[in-house]
Structure 1
Amino acid sequence: MIVSTGLACSVMIGSFLVLVAIRIPVAFALGLATIPIVLMDVRLTPFIVLDRMFQSYNSFILLAVPFFLLAANLMNSGKITDKLIDLSRVLTGWMPGGLGHVNVAVSMLFAGISGSSTADAAGCGKILIPAMVKEGFDTRFAIAITACSSVMGVIIPPSILMVVWGGVMQVSVGALFLAGAVPGIMIGLALLATVYGYAKVYDYPTAGRPTFAEFWEALRGSFLALLTPVLVIGGIVGGIVTPTESAIIAAGYALILGLFVYRTVSIRDLGQIFYDTGRFASISLFAIGTASAFGWLLAFFKVPRLIVEMLTSYDLGMFGTSLVIAGLFLLFGLFIDAIPTIIILGTVLLPVAAAADIHPVVFAVIGIISLAFGLVTPPYGLCLLISASIGGMNVVQVMRDVVIILIPMLLIMLLIMLVPEIALWLPRMLMPSAV
């Protein structure tokens, strides 16, 4: 039989939801949900699913994903995170709520090195959550600010999500990196203001005013690590290297720092570091494959065209369409990992954004910031789960503080929708040919 668009959409999405509900991992659920429709339609064979998965892997740019993960793991294992925390402490620890500001500042610095929010939550959380609790901060606040600040890892460049987005949507990764810089810094400043408000209300302590000698020592200790984003982003913007090559440079540079400069990584440690990187990268890349097959079938049955026609018929305008796009990404981010969501929902909404005259780079920034919120919102909320586990609390117990901290971050996203030039200013200045 030849399956209609409505039936195909119902069977695939229904199967996927059932599989997720019975706790099948999302990557497997996406692949398994394609099987019924392939068997039902005479035009399809199981080999098509395998072919689409292979085609998605046959991408040079996606090689950047495991190398950025390797760089993040080397940074954590090499105690480079500790040096970033020392620098953040002398920069922001003197303000009311000192360690809370340190938490946000180190997430901003780590984001510029790793590109991974989960690595940020795990690496920084293990050190800062116990330290904050010991200094008198409420455990719920310590967990919430760690989880919420870690989402900057996928917004401030370099970002693994931006690499995937650029590869899937055929958008310049360099332009995406630059577009995420200003919104990421604005979100960081909003978080610092939130910490200040908490500190004034709950009388949280400062970490002490540093001397110039302490500042110089912290800067000298972290200077080489801070060169990582300069090498990565500068190389891409300057047209010297591709995103994949920049990821390899970041991983190689982190390896040199850990082995020979700081001497905090031994040859014996490398086996476990490579194993962890391979394991996490394989999960991400397998999800890319199954999501690509799922998304291709949706396109085959013209589901994206149906959605585009429905949304464009309402004539919501640029801002209204941006709100709908952000809402859909936020909704999907509650249940699904960001990478499959980019491949499935991003490709579907791209023509919707184009019809509303939303610039592809602005569309990417809105989508990625929305998906970043999914990292701290249950039931998926991976960064929140990691932080809560470190703090020894249930996710439900910290949701009140998470919501309060997320409000100014949501306002920043609304501001970007109203004033798209916030995201486009830096790419237009440094990479005008890419935008």
Structure 2
Amino acid sequence: MTGSVLTPDQAALILFGVFFGLMILRVPVAFALALACLPILIVEPHLSAMTLVQETFNAYNSFILLAVPFFLLTANLMNVGGITDRLMLLSRSMVGHFPGGLAQINVVLSFFFAGISGSSTADAASQSKIFIEAQRKEGYDDSFSVAITAVSAVLAVIIPPSILMIVWGGVLTVSIGALFLAGIIPGLLIALAQMATVHAYASARGYPTYPRASWAAFFSAMYKSVPALLTPAIIIGGKIFGWFTATESACIAVLYAGFLSLLVYREMNLSGLRSALVDTGKFAGIALFCVGTASAFGWLLAYYQIPKAILSGVSAWQMGPIETGFFIAFVFLVVGCFLDAIPAIIIVGTILDPLARSAGLDPVHFAMIGIVSLAFGLVTPPYGLCLMIACSIAGIRMKEALKDTLLMLLPMIAVLVLLIMWPQVALFVPSLISPEFLQ
């Protein structure tokens, strides 16, 4: 930045000021990030508006990012190919007899779905269509139905294979295999916390419960679901044991989901395939456009050394690992309310990475704190994309479901606190299976 017209403070004020100003005006996040870059690119003599285009497209020159549309396509093939229906039957045989049976099934199905799709938005869209109207017919409150559907959808970014883990690993050079392993215990704990929350709601409000399924029904459902349940094992196992990369595993997941839908379950036709491809194109276009403009925004931050300026004051606090973990979680929780998770990783993750390393946090532990914290932003306004999707499908306003949503987040915050204070929640499985992944 030698000879730059703007100082780091001035550049930061313009970047963040314009960005948040556009967000208040409800400009989509990806466009707000791009437009926030333009004033600086025009004013700065060493740069030009073409820099925005160059840096945006440079972000797409990444083999890892190809995994994003492939995992989204896997999720959509599951929905049109009958795979989700079989997983739902298995979920019902397992937890349908718990208080609030249909909502419990919602959580367990989200857990299974998360192990295949990696996308919370895809989960929220499909689960909302399945469960909200069904719960409405069984007497569940709309606010509860929307809240549990949206909150359970965030499991998809925590449980491997998560698209956020792939982006984080690519941007911050962290082993994606280690991140996949690190998400298993936090994801399981959050799913259990959500099931306990449903139990409490159902007991207080008298929500209906299904009869206990027989062992024969359970084993029948398990038998029909085994091919689908092998999908996460293939994806994660192949990545861990070095059989293929994260992108290649996503391609294999698509082929396997297509194989199940066409030849095993035989429920996908040409119309269903077209629908899956169109939906994938829509979701992937939104996600990848955010990646490109966020990368250009992040490039300008690095050009003016703004992260260094920001962290110079924070480093003076001399925080230990636990205090740093809470600070990182707080920053991501706040940022997640306003910014999509992928650009948040590219912008904020790169800013906080030096701080985490200086405090002695393992990169995998730091990543899991960030990813779990960003998961909250998927259901907290004003961004809250998963909550927005569920409310739209239910036909209610977001504020009507906000109280129940926030109550459901409280047990998840307890899991986040446990993750920060006890790193082994994230690091135990990676250290057990592949210790070389850790620092």
Pairing partner for 2:172 from 156, 169, 173: 169
- Give the alignment's Cα RMSD to 1 decimal: 1.2
Deviation at 1:325, TM superposition (A): 1.1
Q: Is 2:374 the counterpart of 1:365?
A: no
Q: What's the counterpart of residue 19 of structure 2?
A: 16
Deviation at 1:428, TM superposition (A): 1.1
Q: Is 2:100 the counterpart of 1:97?
A: yes
1:283-432 → structure 2 map (5 Å cutoff): 283-432=286-435
Deviation at 1:175, TM superposition (A): 0.4
Cα distance in 2, alignment partners of residues 100 and 280 from structure 1: 26
**TM-score where L is the length of structure 2:** 0.97
Q: What's the counterpart of residue 42 of structure 1?
A: 45
Given that 2:298 and 2:347 are in contact with CA atoms closer than 8 Å, whether structure 1 keeps it comes out as yes
Cα distance in 2, alignment partners of residues 421 and 328 from structure 1: 22
Cα distance in 2, alignment partners of residues 280 and 97 from structure 1: 31
Pairing partner for 2:235 from 232, 257, 263: 232
Pairing partner for 2:273 from 259, 270, 273: 270
Given that 1:81 and 1:123 are in contact with CA atoms closer than 8 Å, whether structure 2 keeps it comes out as no
Pairing partner for 1:142 from 123, 142, 145: 145
AA aligned to 1:340 is P
AA aligned to 1:258 is S
AA aligned to 1:358 is L
C-alpha deviations, 1:285-334, integer Å up to 9, x for none?
A: 11111111110111111110012111111122212211111111111111
Identify unmatched segments of 5+ residues in structure 2: none
Cα distance in 2, alignment partners of residues 84 and 386 from structure 1: 22
Pairing partner for 1:67 from 67, 70, 73: 70
AA aligned to 2:176 is V
AA aligned to 1:80 is I
Deviation at 1:25, TM superposition (A): 1.2
Q: What's the counterpart of residue 155 of structure 1?
A: 158
C-alpha deviations, 1:38-83, integer Å up to 9, x for none?
A: 1112222233333222221111111101100110111112232111
Kindly tell me the number of residue pairs found equivalent between the two proteins. 435
Deviation at 1:351, TM superposition (A): 0.6
Given that 1:27 and 1:290 are in contact with CA atoms closer than 8 Å, whether structure 2 keeps it comes out as yes
Deviation at 1:5, TM superposition (A): 0.6
Given that 2:332 and 2:374 are in contact with CA atoms closer than 8 Å, whether structure 1 keeps it comes out as yes
C-alpha deviations, 1:102-147, integer Å up to 9, x for none?
A: 1111110110011111111111221122222222222211111111
Cα distance in 2, alignment partners of residues 406 and 362 from structure 1: 21
Cα distance in 2, alignment partners of residues 125 and 423 from structure 1: 30
Q: Is 2:103 the counterpart of 1:115?
A: no
Pairing partner for 1:247 from 241, 250, 259: 250
Q: What's the counterpart of residue 28 of structure 1?
A: 31
AA aligned to 1:422 is V
Q: Is 2:6 the counterpart of 1:6?
A: no
Given that 1:2 and 1:43 are in contact with CA atoms closer than 8 Å, whether structure 2 keeps it comes out as no
AA aligned to 1:68 is F
Given that 2:80 and 2:273 are in contact with CA atoms closer than 8 Å, whether structure 1 keeps it comes out as no
1:149-228 → structure 2 map (5 Å cutoff): 149-228=152-231
Deviation at 1:339, TM superposition (A): 0.6
Identify unmatched segments of 5+ residues in structure 1: none
Q: What's the counterpart of residue 283 of structure 2?
A: 280
Q: What's the counterpart of residue 126 of structure 1?
A: 129
SS in 2 for 1:158: coil
Q: Runs of 4 or more off by more than 4 Å in structure 1? A: none
Pairing partner for 2:109 from 88, 103, 106: 106
Deviation at 1:349, TM superposition (A): 0.7
SS in 1 for 2:47: coil
Q: Is 2:257 the counterpart of 1:259?
A: no
Deviation at 1:386, TM superposition (A): 1.4
Cα distance in 2, alignment partners of residues 426 and 354 from structure 1: 21
SS in 1 for 2:212: coil
**TM-score where L is the length of structure 1:** 0.98
Q: Which moved more, 1:47-56 or 1:162-171?
A: 47-56
Cα distance in 1, alignment partners of residues 206 and 21 from structure 2: 47
Given that 2:72 and 2:284 are in contact with CA atoms closer than 8 Å, whether structure 1 keeps it comes out as yes
C-alpha deviations, 1:130-181, integer Å up to 9, x for none?
A: 2222222222111111111110010001101111111111111110011011
SS in 2 for 1:334: helix
Kindly tell me: are residues 265 and 320 of structure 1, through their superposed partners in 2, closer, same or farther at Cα, counting changes over 3 Å? Answer: same
Cα distance in 2, alignment partners of residues 237 and 429 from structure 1: 12
Deviation at 1:267, TM superposition (A): 2.3
Q: What's the counterpart of residue 52 of structure 1?
A: 55
SS in 1 for 2:244: coil
Cα distance in 1, alignment partners of residues 35 and 142 from structure 2: 40
Percent identity, please.
51
